[in-house]
Chains A and B, each alone.
Chain A
């Protein structure tokens, strides 16, 4: 188990405004994803845990060992921490073959044991042992080797800093089952940093969402996506529809609420913890809304007339961008049938509207 309470002031630089890294979390054995945008403090957190950055205050414990404690001035060197660390940048030693990379990591083992372990690892991770580290190996093999190398010392914690960044789709797809197998067999905490939402789902496990150095939400990926903690989270998660509205009716008995958004009254499920007249932020996933041609029809409940401004291609659908900052995802075949519509109606199913705190 890793337990970290870290505070570190980051000075403003050329690329980012300054912020304070202020995190307090605990992660058990298994994969924990640290999700956040670039420059939110993910790498700094990993560097602090691995011993490459010194927090201003706090304490880091790995199982029963203190890795860092500002109060008692304990700071173990990176060599003493026994944390496997796959860096954001591909750091296979370019002057060594894959086998030599693994041998380097297994240096402290007795000679025979070292070679046995390296051979086993090469087989387990399907590595071309004698191919050169950087020049000839494909990206998928390099990431497997980086993972294997970081496990050679039987670390008590594994840190993976955006491990699949820059990999092609197939290599990414192959990486996740391997990581899940490693997580099961190693039985250690694995922290994985990413700025891709998809990686959170692929990795499984709990997600810590960090922004500007602070944990803004934690939970299962599905729960976070379904119920973002606040407006910033909704935007961070890429939820296309985020509106401000006013609550005009609340009926816990019928489990309904009425909310006024852009001069239109919409019905949603009951919003507990809110009062009549509250101004609230709401979000709705583009895939949960429906759009259809108006063709002179009357407005029905939870429908808003909108003007289609732009159509964007998505891998499996199209995104319709309407006036009023409303986005709706629609299957391509359906859009082909409806594309000649002059006027559109966007329907907000009650369950699609979620209130943000």
Chain B
């Protein structure tokens, strides 16, 4: 109790220093007056009385200090003194301070940014309440893309009803195409937007509540109910100018008056979690019992497990439900045909693949901080060497060792605090930029922000860094010999040499760390180049795609097909006539985008083996499409004569052809002209195409089958144009032509096909760029370190060099000697770094593509780079040394 009061008094005293000091002075004055009065009463002369009074009082300054100590917070006072002194000291050496702060800003800033990314993607739970209960439920991976990773609506019903371990199961329509909405905002052309159809309980299962209005309910999903839509926060702001009265308004969307029933909270970003790199503007109800019943596998499952249920229990449960799941309830033989669904934590589905890359990234950025610290240690040591006399003097005047170390630690803490603050600013800029990079296919990027954990991490790195780089030189100085330091006036004595050895070790470790980083970055770069070199089966350069809208409404199905063919043909003829267009065609799905499959056509007359899994991915195309994509065909392309009612024709890709040929007995194993059994009808193969990487750039190409758009239904239309001009130049004329054909054509983006590839490669590019940037930074810091040490040793040996030159040593020899010193440091550093890299290669191996983690070329290249850097950073001081004039050198003491 009195302790508390005392503390309050002390804190008060600490802040009210001036008032209290004035009061104390007044008290002292009164005290002396009273004493003088008493002496004078006894007949002592005034001056003698004053003298006596002062003697009795004792040391005034001492009494003052004692009183202050008793009343205030001594430690903080000392700290403030140290701080004041430090700031003064640092201001006096702006060059050093600027370099140190810059190094720390880069080191700490990079660490904060990467921590934030790691935290958001890997450490933090998904942005849903009790996110650990959420699981992603999908069949084990097979060879037919998204169609084999999804379920039918009947299967969904069965799974939801049959499972015992879930609070509820939901899902969404996995095949929504970007720009699937055409929103008419009053007059003018409709604006494209992207929405995802979700099962009506989607938001309840995830635990998302509306920011405005309501989300979806069971009525919305009933077939024939009034169309409703829920907007995302970003879309509401962008398209509707954050209209506060938006709820209840209706707009013409895809030709139907659709009511906006609610706006999602800012924290919910569908794309960020389920479809990284895609921008989702709105969510719409999926009418489970309407048309989608006949669409086959379309739904991805997300379940919320009951509290306390383990993943193993969920797996067992899935095995129990599996036999009763039917692809279509009207089709009893389809029951039990699904493979057992595998629930995995949603978090793992979202970011599991990235874990290794993130850890590597984290290590890389940690190494940067380590290099930065070593570098600063080095700088501080150099400074400390210059200041050793100052410290010796202070020690001689009675400063304890602890006090000196404390002073040095204060210095490093101040530096790292400034570095941390600037680093935080740097990280904020980086993160803001990154969170708006919608095109990087990494999950949760839009959720990046500086949060409590990040601030904690900042504090931790700053303090640890300060202690790390401040303590080494601190102890070095504090344990130094006083007398020697005071006498050490000639820069050549033992202390200086010891410093130099320590600094050399620091530089070697810097070079080693930089070497490890560079090797890692080099390997990633090489992998990336290899990935860019992959033959995708199509030529992304100078091709671009635009989503085409058309009107094929007609009373009968036949009429609709006929109308569509006419429209397609018209579009292609008009676009082909544009100047600069080399080839053009229409497809419904693009490669490296969404995909689907429709079962497995098999050679006619050959017995279908049991346990055939998967099926080729299906693309419905017009004549000319493959030429526009740059995919080679053997046999023939479709023609407009392959119309409805004619023989059904297809093209298949090489790997599917190889697979089929291994069962059929085709002459020369050539499928061209052969007939397949496509689910009860005959289809003739008219061409074999190159393998197209349809799902990933890096993986193997799978099976593909192409149907002519004249014979199969299409889902949307992407017009692909191959040009002799840069696609950007053609964009407006293509759009104008399309609008001329159909005035309702929205202002869709004319996106280069290379964007699809870039998008697929974006995670790899992201990691490579970051690790590369860190490696360059590390190299720069190492170069700075080498320069510092060599330069210092030249300064220290000015006299020696002067004498040697006076005795006839040539400039070239001196230069060579200095350079060889720097090469030595680098050689040892590279040796250590390379050894560590070789040893830890398995860590990066999984991030590489067609590159050995022991890739000799990379190692040699990095070594060469580091040698060049060493030569460069050693050259400047070496040149200075060789320019030393003996006369000046000898006089320099």
Partners in one complex: no
